[in-house]
C-alpha cells in the first residue's frame, strides 16, 4: 500500500516513527491485516506535483494507493477545476496500472466561501464518478483542534496522526477486502 500525498503523509515536523504511514500500518496490523504502508508524501506537494510523480512514486506492486492530495492546492487557491482534473488524471494513471485507489478528501475552511463549496465537492464527486472508495476528510477529528495540531495549526501532531490513522484504517480495511 502507498500513501501518495503531501506534508501530512510525509510526517512534517514529526519523527519518522510518528508519521502517518507508520501509524496507519500499525493501526491496520492491530486489525490483523498483514500490510506494509509505503510513504510517498512530499511536503508542499499539490495535485499537480502528485500527478507529475505518480508514475515513479507508486510502485507497480502496490495493492492500494491512498491518494491524499489537495490541501496545498486549497491553501494556494488553485482553481478547483484544475484540482479535479489533476486528481482524475492521477486516478486514471493508477487504474491503467491496475492499482486500486482510495481517495482521501480535503475540506476548505468555511470562510473560503464559494471556493470552499466547489473545492469540497471534488472528492465525493470523483469517488462516485471513478467508483473508488473515499475517506471524506483526511483531517477528520483533527483539523482546527489545537490539541491535535502542531503550533502551525495545519500539521497534525503525533496524537493527531493517531486519530487520522485510526479513522483511515476503517476505510482502508474495507477497501482491501473488496
Residue-wise burial string across 39-76, b where 16 or more C-beta atoms lie within 10 A, e elsewhere: bbbbeebbbbbbbeebeebbeeebebbbbbbbbbbbbe
User: For the packed helices 80-96 and 47-57, what is the interaxial angle rounded to 10 degrees?
Assistant: 10
Q: Which residue has the cell 512530499?
A: 42
- Please, which residues have CB within 8 angstroms of residue 92's CB and are 6 or more apart in sequence? none
162: helix, strand or coil = helix
159: helix, strand or coil = helix
Residues annotated catalytic, as ranges? 7, 152, 155
Amino acid at each position: 500500500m502507498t500513501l501518495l500525498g503531501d506534508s501530512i503523509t510525509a510526517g512534517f515536523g514529526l519523527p519518522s516513527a510518528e508519521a502517518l504511514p507508520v501509524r496507519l500500518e500499525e493501526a491496520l496490523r492491530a486489525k490483523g491485516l498483514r500490510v506494509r504502508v509505503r510513504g510517498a508524501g512530499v511536503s508542499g506537494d499539490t495535485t499537480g506535483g502528485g500527478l507529475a510523480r505518480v508514475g515513479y512514486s507508486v510502485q507497480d506492486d502496490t495493492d492500494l494507493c491512498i491518494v491524499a492530495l489537495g490541501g496545498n492546492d486549497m491553501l494556494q487557491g488553485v482553481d478547483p477545476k484544475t484540482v479535479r482534473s489533476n486528481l482524475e488524471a492521477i486516478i486514471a494513471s493508477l487504474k491503467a496500472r491496475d492499482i486500486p485507489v482510495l481517495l482521501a478528501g480535503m475540506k476548505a475552511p468555511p470562510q473560503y466561501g464559494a471556493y470552499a463549496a466547489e473545492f469540497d465537492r471534488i472528492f465525493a464527486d470523483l469517488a462516485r464518478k471513478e467508483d473508488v472508495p473515499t475517506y471524506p476528510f483526511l483531517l477528520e477529528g483533527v483539523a482546527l483542534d489545537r490539541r491535535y495540531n502542531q503550533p502551525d495549526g495545519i500539521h497534525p501532531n503525533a496524537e493527531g496522526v493517531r486519530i487520522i490513522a485510526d479513522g483511515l484504517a476503517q476505510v482502508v480495511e474495507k477497501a482491501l477486502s473488496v
